[in-house]
A = this chain, B = another copy of it.
Amino acid sequence: MQKFDFKTKLPFFKKLGNDERILLNDNIITKKFPKGFHVHSGAEDCSGLIIVKSGQLRAFMVSNSGKELTLYRLLEDDICLFSASCILKQINFDIYVDAEKESQCYLIPTNIFQIISEKNQYVSKFINDLMSKRFSEVMWLIEHTLFKSFDERLASFLIDQSSIENSTNLKITHEEIANHIGSAREVVSRMLKHFQTEGILNIKRGNIEIINMNQLFLTAKI
């Protein structure tokens, strides 16, 4: 994998001292995760700061009964803070991260990130900014899941998915959709059938083809 471009990828890098730059440079690790790999599993797991070079990671929560809900996606250049959540003392929830596609990542190990964050105010500010960003995404999700009807949420998810995949032909199962939006497979299947009846999409095996994107946008009320 090519050399890590610290200056563009890490906003705080310019503000680091020489020693800190050397420390980072000597300790950054490259990682390759196959599709489906469990990159991070809750608070027990604290590998470090993960920066996505290519591919796609999914951050999600899991309820006591095993139900999943996608919190946000991490694409190229996105940084995963919660894989280093052990250095954030007041965080007491578990986030899970899986590779949705084969992904190449850089990892700054927790102990190295901790040394730098304790010494340098700009790293603290960077953590603040990143946490604010994730907090905002989660607040959007609350508004969305609590105050929107199920057809709006499902339509919205399909639009997002189509944008991420850059295709109107989505290779995704009803079970996977249910795990993304914190619902049950049966409920998803029923609504997809309803969308099909309305001429919005065609359901095939393990595949959903969006045929009327305008109508999908109207349903999502975006």
Contacts and interface: CB of A to CB of B under 8 A. Distances in A.
A134 B88 CA distance: 13
B142 A91 contact: no
Residue among A120, A135, A140, A182 with most chain B CB within 10 A: A135
Given A64-B147, A88-B128, A139 B138 contact: yes
Q: On chain A, which size bracket covers the interface?
A: 35 or more
B61 A142 contact: yes
Copies of this chain in the oligomer? 2
A135 B64 CA distance: 19
Contacts of A65: 147
Contacts of A141: 142
B133 A90 contact: yes
Q: Which secondary structure characterizes the binding site on chain A? A: helix
A222 B63 CA distance: 14
A136 interface: yes
Contacts of A128: 88, 90, 124, 127-128, 131
B89 A182 contact: no
A60 to B, nearest CB: 11
A27 interface: no
A139 B61 contact: yes
A195 B141 CA distance: 31
A69 interface: yes
Nearest to A145: B146
A67 B140 CA distance: 15
22 contacts: A61-B139, A64-B147, A65-B147, A69-B142, A69-B146, A88-B128, A90-B130, A90-B133, A91-B132, A91-B136, A93-B139, A128-B128, A128-B131, A131-B135, A134-B135, A135-B138, A138-B138, A138-B139, A138-B142, A142-B142, A145-B146, A146-B146
Given A93-B136, A141-B142, 11 more contacts: A67-B147, A91-B135, A124-B124, A124-B125, A131-B131, A134-B135, A135-B135, A142-B145, A145-B146, A146-B182, A147-B182
